[in-house]
Amino acid sequence: MTARPTSPRAGAGWILRHQDTLTESEQLKLKVVGTHFPELDALTRHVRSFASMLTGRPGERLPDWLDAVRQDDLPSLHALIAGIGRDRAAVIAVLTLPWDSGGVESHVNRIKMLKRQMFGRVGFQLLRKRVLMA
């Protein structure tokens, strides 16, 4: 009896999850897939490297990471590196600085929810009061 082939969803999960959370069999399967498909091995390295930049905040490594991705010519990452390239300074700041806008974003989200709840029913004055009272 032959083993079932790896599903794309399972393979993506192995690539996106932290290596320490993978079981031994998952790590072995990922290694086997990587030997058969070198582009997936390169993709795994780049994804994990970017994830370490997100958690460790070494933003100064971003230009080197972008160059490495371009050299490997991975079409699945072209859109990502193009988007990062459009606002490179902001991405480096996010990966370097300890501050974030999470608190502001939560308030903006709350205000938008209140506005949607009252859509078309009331004027600005009542919306203003509801935002201030909530």
Confidence of residue 1 (pLDDT cuts 50, 70, 90): low
Asked if 63 and 15 sit in the same domain, the reply is yes
39-47 mean pLDDT: 88
Reading the block at residue 106, the tokens are: 């939560």
Exposed, middle or buried: residue 45 (CB in 10 Å: 0-12, 13-18, 19+)?
Answer: middle
Residue 58, in any domain of the structure: yes
pLDDT of residue 96: 86
3-state secondary structure of 134: coil
Q: Is 22 left (phi over 0), alpha (psi -120 to 50) or beta?
A: beta
Q: Is residue 119 part of a domain?
A: yes
Flag whether 48 is in a domain.
yes
Residues 119, 127 contacting (CB under 8 angstroms): no
**In this predicted structure, what is the pLDDT of residue 130?**
83
Whether the predicted pLDDT of 98 surpasses 80: yes
| Cβ-based neighbours of 61, under 8 Å, separated by 6 or more | 53
Domain that holds residue 68: 8-96
Q: Which band of pLDDT confidence, cut at 50, 70 and 90, is reported for residue 117?
A: confident
Q: How many domains does the chain have?
A: 2
pTM higher than 0.85: no
